Chains A and B, each alone.
Chain A
Amino acid sequence: MSINFNESSKQGAEKLTPDIKDNGEDPLEKSKRTGERTRFIHKPNPLVERSYQIFEYDFKKGDYEHAGDYVLIKKDEKSEVTEKKLINLMTLLNGKDDLIDISNLTSTRVLFTLVPEAQAGDQTKIILKDYDGSGVSKENAIFTIRKGVLHDKFSV
């Protein structure tokens, strides 16, 4: 019998999430069942509507640990758009580059602001905004991740 244990990891997050949607299996449970580990995974926050929890695999503990959150502010955004943004974000955090183009699903430009370290505490906090060409940009979502996963390349 031949089993490729690393197949799911090679596929990346963009493949992981559709599997979740297809069979409804919790990503944490799936990782335990299959023994396959992707560094970052996300799942809907059961307590906060339209929010997601981000988990990072802790190699020392051998389990996933909560590492951040993605809280959607623009509640009327299509679930498909939000989900694909999350998949793209997980893809990049997992060191991959094969992103899903969702420009045909939006009519806005995505802007982002880094919340100053003094206000963000022990996390890196980024506010994602939509700009539709009229007035000022509107907040779309707040993304937080444990400090160290991302860094400000312009900070001295």
Chain B
Amino acid sequence: MINSVFNTTVEGPQSLPLQDVFAKIAGVSDGYDNKVTQENTYGMDNNMA
């Protein structure tokens, strides 16, 4: 019989800084720079010129 306590694994820290979590989410989801490069329409450098 398998002991249900033995094979229980709970991972993860107690509390995470939300700014760090969503900065990472944003970091891997950011396709905006691709769009800037491809279309050369947006982007602050154009506006500043």
Chain A interface residues toward B at CB < 8 A: 5-6, 9, 35-40, 57, 59, 62, 85, 88-89, 92-97, 99-112, 114, 124, 126, 128, 131-134, 148-154
Interface bracket on B: 20 to 34
- Closest 4 pairs between A and B when the two form their complex, measured CB to CB: A133-B42, A5-B7, A106-B31, A109-B32
Provide the main secondary structure of the chain A interface.
loop
How many residue pairs bridge A and B at CB < 8 Å?
Answer: 133
B45 at the interface (CB under 8 A from A): no
Cβ contact within 8 Å between A152 and B18 = yes
The complex places the Cα of A42 from the Cα of B27 at a distance, in Å, of 21
Q: A101-B28, A105-B31, A133-B35 are in contact. Are A150 and B15 (CB under 8 A)?
A: yes
